[in-house]
Amino acid sequence: MTRGRAALLIAAFPLLTGGLAQAQAPRSSAEGVALLRKIYQATGKLSYTGTFVYQQGDRSETSRITRVAVDDVEKLEVLDGMPREIVRTRDTIRCYLPESQTVKVDRRTDTGAFPAVLPERISDLAKNYVITRAEPARVGGYDCDTVVLTPADDLRYGYKLWADVGTGMLLKARTFNRKGETVEQFTFTQLTIGNVPRDRVKSRHAARSWRVEDAAVAPANLAQSGWTVSRELPGFRKVMEVTRRLGESRPVGQMVYSDGLAAVSVFIEPMAGRAEAVRPGPSSLGAFHIYTREVANHIVTVVGEAPAASVQRIADTVEFRKPQ
């Protein structure tokens, strides 16, 4: 096609401007924001016990979850496949793996994650997502209101949330990509909201002689060691920077970037002494996209609940400058 032909098309389609020029950008609605706020508050203050199904790809798993609000303790028990159980208290998360007799211990960090204050968190979300109400529906025996978070760009996924009209408890959550396809979905099939006996959130495992893998999380300043992410993804801010241990004893640095709902972690570890081969490039594990790179004799692994391109973009901007 020559320029002449292109110019002819230009002349023939003057109305194309209509769709692009000054198109009213969709805006969050007050009702949408109010419902989202109600959901966050419910998650923080309710006790409940129920069964939910997690679907991702062609995988489907059923789990039981119980929360005691007054102690802020929660237990998740996966009922399909390999038995595992996770108990979260105010400060720690313990993952029990009975088949390998291992407990993985980690520090609970989301309570310190930004922005801790709900109104700030929601106004940050409104910058990256358009928050609107959708039609009510019935889920797990509850009448639910729904709210949709439509991403403002292609760097993140969208979400639809179903919440009990009465309490705001989240009954169902769906993550979707730019084509509208479901990336993952959580659905309660049975739920009882209200006080729960404390023993229901205790691990069933005594785990006294089990191997303990403690993540030994400590705040860190990786820039001091020469590491930076030279260009942050629009809408994502650094919210955490620590050193920790992976697996049994591998020390790594971790930076977490978040837009308020999605998060991407950048892990940096030295290449020396690594037994396994490094496979640079994009990969995925379940709903997570992963990107691996070698930089300055280190391995950079970026993991995120975001489209593959976003994970890769962050990975590509990790830089090392030897500190003076």
Partner 1 sequence: MKEQISALMDGELERAQSAAPLEALRDAGEAREAWRTYHLIGDAMRETRMVSGSFTARVAAALAAEPTVMAPVAVIPEPRPAAAARQWPALSIAASVAAFALVVGAVFVSQKDAVQAPQVANAPKPPVELIRETAQVAPPDTAHDYVLAHQGSSPRNSLQGMVPYVRLVSDQSRPAKP
Q: Which stretch binds partner 1 (CB under 8 A): 10-18, 129-137, 221-229, 314-322?
A: 10-18
Which member of 147, 170, 306, 314 binds partner 1 (CB under 8 A)? 170
- Closest to partner 1 by CB, 81 vs 273, is 81
- Closest to partner 1 by CB, 144 vs 152, is 152
- Closest to partner 1 by CB, 44 vs 136, is 44
What gap in Å lies between CA 49 and CA 191, rounded to an integer?
6
Number of amino acids touching partner 1 (CB under 8 A): 99
What gap in Å lies between CA 193 and CA 172, rounded to an integer?
15
Amino acid symbol at 178: R
Instruction: Please state the closest distance from residue 115 (CB atom) to partner 1, in A.
Output: 10
Report if residue 106 touches partner 1, rule: CB under 8 A. Answer: yes
Read out DSSP for 89-148?
Answer: -SSEEEEEEGGGTEEEEEE--GGGSSP-SHHHHHHHHHHHEEEEEEEEEEETTEEEEEEE
Report if residue 32 touches partner 1, rule: CB under 8 A. Answer: no
What gap in Å lies between CA 284 and CA 308, rounded to an integer?
8
For residues 35-54, which are near partner 1 according to CB under 8 A?
39-40, 43-44, 52, 54
The pattern of x and - marking residues 269 through 298 that bind partner 1 according to CB under 8 A reads -------x-xxxxxxxxxxx-x-x------
Report if residue 142 touches partner 1, rule: CB under 8 A. Answer: no
Report if residue 93 touches partner 1, rule: CB under 8 A. Answer: yes
The answer to whether residues 298 and 321 touch, using CB atoms and an 8 Å cutoff, is: no
- Closest to partner 1 by CB, 22 vs 324, is 22
Q: Which stretch binds partner 1 (CB under 8 A): 135-143, 204-212, 247-255, 316-324?
A: 247-255
Which member of 84, 133, 205, 237 binds partner 1 (CB under 8 A)? 84
Report if residue 249 touches partner 1, rule: CB under 8 A. Answer: no
Contacts of 204 (CB under 8 A, 6+ apart): 77, 85
What does DSSP assign to residue 199? G
- Closest to partner 1 by CB, 272 vs 323, is 272
Contacts of 57 (CB under 8 A, 6+ apart): 286
Contacts of 27 (CB under 8 A, 6+ apart): 130
Contacts of 311 (CB under 8 A, 6+ apart): 264, 282, 289, 290, 291, 302, 303, 304
For residues 204-243, which are near partner 1 according to CB under 8 A?
215, 234, 239-240
